[in-house]
Amino acid sequence: MQVQAETVQTQIPLEFLNYVDEKLSKNIDGGRPHFLSLIARLGRDPQEELLNICEAAWIKNRSLRLIANDYAANPKTVYRILKDLEPLKKQLANYLKTASRRKRWYCSELDASDYENVQTFIKRAKRDDLKTYREQIQTARRAWSFLNGRDPAYWSADEVCDFLSTLSKGAQSGMLDAIRQVAPQIAIKGSKDQVQTGRFREKLGRRKKDLFGNEIEMVHEALDSEKEFEYFKLILDLHITLGAREGSRDRESGLAGLTWDRFKKSFSRVDLYESKVRGGIWWRDCPLDLFFKDLPGRLRKLWIERGKPTNERILRKEYKELRELYKTIRNILRAYYQDTAEPSLLKEFTTLRPHDADKIHVNLLWEAEIPLEVVAGQFLGQNEGLGLMGRGWLDINVIKKYYLSLTQRSERFRKLEKQVHTYSKRFCTVVH
């Protein structure tokens, strides 16, 4: 009986079909044609388009104005239709999430898909000039076929794992990578639909960096010792300010992909793209005077010296240049502090790598007493993020586990220790 009940729930409600038939027949006697009749005249399936409207409004939470724009209609028309179907809302929503509908997975001639998530990936891939996105879509198609043509927006972790279990271990990672492109919910950390396997598990044992404000001042002292070190200091300060990843196979991502045209407001703000998280996030309006107030002026000076370029990269040799730059900084710090710094601090200086800039970024914000919720940033949707302090992490647990270093080198750590000592005086007894 249970199986029969579930089967009935996935059927389209008869009342919905009757509603469509009624509206399509309204203009038979010469009356004003209904909205669905106008859709039919355009050669589109009224039933499917009406389901798309219900899905956009009730599941994807789009505004009536945006939905109406898709059909060149008045928002009031869309409102009236949804009002008519309100009693069927629960049944229709369940049907939309579970049924296999007549949609094209991918049309190579049009380079388009009827599924919103797949189409979003196509648009993002074109914007970011990704060359292999068609292969990714065709790879994920196997999961779509396995799940009987379900919309990827509604794939669950259990369903995806069931499909992955049919593949060899060697094929699972590539398939999961493709699935995450068309079904972003599978990649959201901590969600009930997240799937982690193979190389997608969080890397454990990443070494944190015990560098805070005082240590950065020491780094500046060494880099200020020679005028020829100005450029190294500039890139290091920019990297720490943004907390950016170094880069990735996506050439637009991270510090290595940063171009001059992304700077705005007299170099006081910049847009930073990160390809790894949520299928790609643009962190907008990241402040550049966050730690180093003269950084915007130094960036502008370099821009003028290079002839005021537009879409050129700051790092001309991209990640290769970044590695060479950090290697030079390590050598400068080794020579400058070889005989004066304590061994543990000298080791921090001489092991400085591009991977450490985001850790230092977090350390400095924590020392400045910025709440970790603010450091983590906020995902706004549509590949947009708001990181008030630069790049975002979205999850404070990730910050605590992999980035923030709580050591006694931090001024804030010592301040908190003093607060405890002040508090403990209440327990002291006076000895006569």
Q: Convert the pLDDT of each residue in 103-155 to its tens digit.
A: 788 888 778 888 888 999 999 999 888 888 999 999 999 999 888 888 898 88
Question: Which segments of 306-427 does DSSP mark as H helices, in order?
Answer: 318-337, 343-350, 357-367, 372-376, 396-402, 411-424
Among 170, 200, 230, residue at a domain's last position: 200
Q: What is the pLDDT of residue 216?
A: 93
Residue 370: pLDDT over 70? yes
Q: Would 109 be classed as within a structural domain?
A: no
Rounded Cα gap, residues 128 and 275, in angstroms: 9
Strands 269-274 and 378-381, how do they pair? unpaired
Q: Would 381 be classed as within a structural domain?
A: yes
Rounded Cα gap, residues 171 and 182, in angstroms: 17
Q: Tell me which of 56-70, 151-165, 389-403 is least confident.
A: 389-403
Regarding whether 154 and 86 lie in a shared domain, the answer is no
Q: Tell me which of 130-134, 189-193, 268-272, 303-307 is least confident.
A: 189-193
Residue 195: pLDDT over 90? no
Among 172, 200, 228, residue at a domain's last position: 200
More confident residue, 129 or 263: 263
Q: Would 426 be classed as within a structural domain?
A: no
Regarding whether 219 and 194 lie in a shared domain, the answer is no
3-state secondary structure at position 206? coil
Q: Would 429 be classed as within a structural domain?
A: no
Tell me what the mean pLDDT of segment 242-258 comes to.
84
Q: Tell me which of 107-121, 269-283, 389-403 is least confident.
A: 389-403
Regarding whether 353 and 225 lie in a shared domain, the answer is yes
How many domains are contained in the chain? 3
Regarding whether 19 and 55 lie in a shared domain, the answer is yes
Q: How confident is the model at residue 1 (pLDDT cuts 50, 70, 90)?
A: very low
pLDDT in tens, 325-361: 999 999 999 999 998 988 888 988 998 988 889 899 9
Q: Would 177 be classed as within a structural domain?
A: yes
Regarding whether 255 and 187 lie in a shared domain, the answer is no
Regarding whether 290 and 151 lie in a shared domain, the answer is no
Regarding whether 161 and 250 lie in a shared domain, the answer is no
Contacts of 58 (CB under 8 A, 6+ apart): 82, 89, 92, 93
Cα-to-chain-centroid distance, residue 346: 35
Residue 429 structure tokens: 């007894």
Regarding whether 233 and 135 lie in a shared domain, the answer is no
Q: What is the pLDDT of residue 197?
A: 52
Give the CATH number, domain containing residue 315.
1.10.443
Regarding whether 281 and 358 lie in a shared domain, the answer is yes
Residue 244 structure tokens: 């950016």
Instruction: List C-alpha distances in Å: 250 to 200, 275, 390.
Output: 17, 7, 20
Q: Would 192 be classed as within a structural domain?
A: yes
Q: How confident is the model at residue 248 (pLDDT cuts 50, 70, 90)?
A: confident
Residue 251: pLDDT over 60? yes
Q: What is the pLDDT of residue 20?
A: 87
> Whole-prediction pTM value?
0.52
Is the separation of the CB atoms in 319 and 256 below 8 Å?
Answer: yes
Residue 97: pLDDT over 80? no
Rounded Cα gap, residues 271 and 287, in angstroms: 9
Q: Would 291 be classed as within a structural domain?
A: yes
pLDDT in tens, 52-69: 888 888 877 888 888 888
Q: What is the pLDDT of residue 207?
A: 66
Regarding whether 222 and 185 lie in a shared domain, the answer is no
Regarding whether 251 and 386 lie in a shared domain, the answer is yes
User: Highest mean pLDDT range out of 111-120, 186-195, 270-279, 380-389?
Assistant: 111-120
Q: Would 104 be classed as within a structural domain?
A: no
Rounded Cα gap, residues 296 and 335, in angstroms: 29
Its domain, for residue 70, covers 2-98
Q: How confident is the model at residue 296 (pLDDT cuts 50, 70, 90)?
A: very high
Among 69, 98, 127, residue at a domain's last position: 98
Burial 47-57 (b: 16+ CB within 10 A, else e): bebbbbbbbbb
Residue 224: pLDDT over 80? yes
How long is the chain? 432
Regarding whether 131 and 219 lie in a shared domain, the answer is no
Q: What is the pLDDT of residue 9?
A: 42
Q: How confident is the model at residue 28 (pLDDT cuts 50, 70, 90)?
A: low
3-state secondary structure at position 8? helix
